[in-house]
Amino acid sequence: MYLTHLNSSFFPFLISLFFFLFFLYLCLMFKFFFHYHFYFFLIFASFVLYFFFLYSKEINSFSLFQFYFNSQFFIYFVLSEVFFFFGVFWSLFWIIFSYESCFLLSLPIIYPFGLALFNTFLLLLSSAYAVVYHLNYLNYINEYSLYFCIFCGLFFLINQVIEFFCCFFSISDFSFCSIFFFGTGFHGFHVFLGLGFLVLAHIMKLYLNLNYPFYINCALLYWHFVDVIWLFLFSFIYIFVYYLFLI
């Protein structure tokens, strides 16, 4: 009975609908910024979060199927993120190999072994702290490694914002500039989401006495996924393009 009720829930449709309107309005704002109002953008985002909260509450009310639905949701969520960043890399390589001469003439040089390399070190260090925390969590040992992991993630976001403000090009200059800001910017947004998942799972365990290993496992797996995505971004957008220009 519970399984049938969750399968017939209308919240996934509403979440998908307002998520589509959210991105459609975002595209319209980028193209005709002065002709659209920003508060509609916030309204659509609020509806997405509201219906997502209601659907999560509905799932959690059926504890017998909680693990099944949450695990399925997490798998589909990560899979959607994989396809999202696959589109970013596809756009990058399509520009390089389809219009190589024009691409090289309009290519801004980004030195990869400065702030970007330091950000890579921060994410790898945070991933190591996450592994240490996970091992201690399974052994029921109080460990402050998660705090260092969150600190490295916040430091990464601050450095990413500094890099955006220090760039000598904008998102509308060339195709590569658009891909650079879009890929790294959305990765920064996913880092922010990953930090939120880690903080929420830790609060549930520490202050609400809700010891759900599944939630902390998903948060840590998502954090490792974000680290892997950054390694691909750093390898292709920074290092590969830099040496392609030198060649």
Give the model's pLDDT for residue 121: 94
Give the model's pLDDT for residue 104: 55
247 exposed, middle or buried (CB, 10 Å; 0-12, 13-18, 19+)?
A: exposed
CA angle 121, 125, 126 (to 5 degrees): 120
CA distances from 21 to 25, 46, 66 (A): 6, 12, 29
Element (H, E) at 240: none
Give the model's pLDDT for residue 228: 93
Give the burial string for 126-161 (b: 16+ CB within 10 Å, else e): bbebbebbbeebeeeeeeebbebbbebbebbbebbe
Element (H, E) at 191: helix 175-206
Q: How many CA atoms lie within 13 A of 85 on its CB side?
A: 25
d(CA 226, CA 199): 16
Each residue's pLDDT tens digit in the chain (247 positions)? Answer: 444 445 556 777 787 787 778 777 777 766 665 555 667 767 877 787 777 767 766 666 554 445 555 566 677 778 888 888 998 898 888 877 776 555 555 566 678 888 889 999 999 999 999 888 888 776 666 668 888 999 999 999 999 988 888 887 777 777 788 888 888 988 988 898 888 888 877 777 776 655 567 778 888 889 999 999 999 999 998 888 888 776 6
Give the model's pLDDT for residue 120: 94
Other beta carbons within 10 angstroms of residue 231's beta carbon come to 13
Task: Name the residue ranges covered by the structural domains of the chain.
Answer: 1-61, 73-246
CA distances from 160 to 152, 182, 185 (A): 12, 13, 8
d(CA 78, CA 222): 8
* Total residue length of the chain: 247
For domain 73-246, the question of CATH label 1.20.120.80 is answered with yes
Give the model's pLDDT for residue 44: 77
